[in-house]
A and B are shown apart, each in its own frame.
Chain A
């Protein structure tokens, strides 16, 4: 099974900051990576598919990049509603596993 490692596990940051979260996979997955946002007490929400394809309704301050084994989710200017936990998920090969999550906290 493919392992996904996100870093950092948590990050204290401020409104307006630029933030990057990385997701490393144990084997190459081309661009078969999705990113999800989970606000406290809410279900996950799909943000990005195929490493960089922004889903409809997702603000343009979110972007994704990478291919192979190394991927990045970037938020260009953090807004209050962006303080949440972010998960990556690979869909290249079964079982389609998740990363452990990265929690963005207000500094």
Chain B
């Protein structure tokens, strides 16, 4: 079954860290760019980060640059997002998404919620 399953979300204090993971199955993970996209409560979609199929190239939204790090393990079909120096405005559901060759998102996970609060 073609799917993405996120994990690792939770409650963290401002300034804290969290590591999100996404397990991919049912497709050739190493052939695809992958991405994290987030959605704050009651808000729209915000792209967070991309990673190339090999992991050699990464891209970040200005809002998370220098604080978040995207990585992948193609041997384990997994995508990760290390989030440091978390702020209240990082509170959101974080989705893992597969990136088509044309840069739209053709497969989404169910999301994992992150709450940054003291």
With contacts A87-B45, A98-B47 taken as known, whether A32 is within 8 angstroms of B108 at the C-beta atoms is no
Is A91 part of the binding interface, using a Cβ–Cβ cutoff of 8 Å? yes
Q: Is B56 among interface residues, defined by CB-CB distance under 8 A?
A: no
By a CB distance below 8 angstroms, the chain A residues around B44 are 87, 98-101
Could you say which of B19-27, B83-91, B95-103 contacts chain A?
A: B95-103
User: Which residues of chain B are near A7, meaning CB under 8 Å?
Assistant: none
Contact for B109 among A43, A89, A96, A97, CB less than 8 A = A43
Interface size class on chain A is: 20 to 34
- Is there contact, CB below 8 Å, between B95 and A96? no
Do the beta carbons of A89 and B105 come within 8 Å of each other? yes
| B103 neighbours in A (Cβ, 8 Å) | 32, 91, 94, 96
CA distance A44 to B111 in the complex (A): 10
Instruction: State whether the Cβ of A80 lies closer than 8 Å to any Cβ in chain B.
Output: no
- How far, in angstroms, from A42 to B100 measured CA to CA in the complex? 21
Q: B104 near A44 (CB under 8 angstroms)?
A: no
| Distance to closest chain B CB from A55 (angstroms) | 8
Contacts between chains A and B (CB distance < 8 A), count: 53
User: Given A91-B103, A94-B59, A95-B61, A43 and B47 touching (CB < 8 A)?
Assistant: no
Compute how far the CA of A30 lies from the CA of B106 in the bound complex, rounded to whole angstroms. 20
Q: Chain B nearest CB: distance from A5 CB in Å?
A: 12
Contact A98:B59 (CB < 8 A) given known A46-B105, A91-B104: no
User: Is residue A45 contacting chain B, with contact meaning CB distance below 8 A?
Assistant: yes
Q: How far is the CA of A44 from the CA of B95 in the complex (A)?
A: 9
Which residues from 61 to 118 on chain B have a C-beta closer than 8 Å to any C-beta of chain A? 61, 95, 100, 102-111
The answer to whether A34 has its CB under 8 Å from any CB of chain B is yes
Given contacts A34-B105, A46-B107, A96-B47, 12 further A-B contacts (CB under 8 A): A32-B102, A32-B103, A42-B110, A43-B109, A44-B105, A45-B108, A87-B44, A89-B45, A91-B103, A95-B59, A96-B104, A101-B44
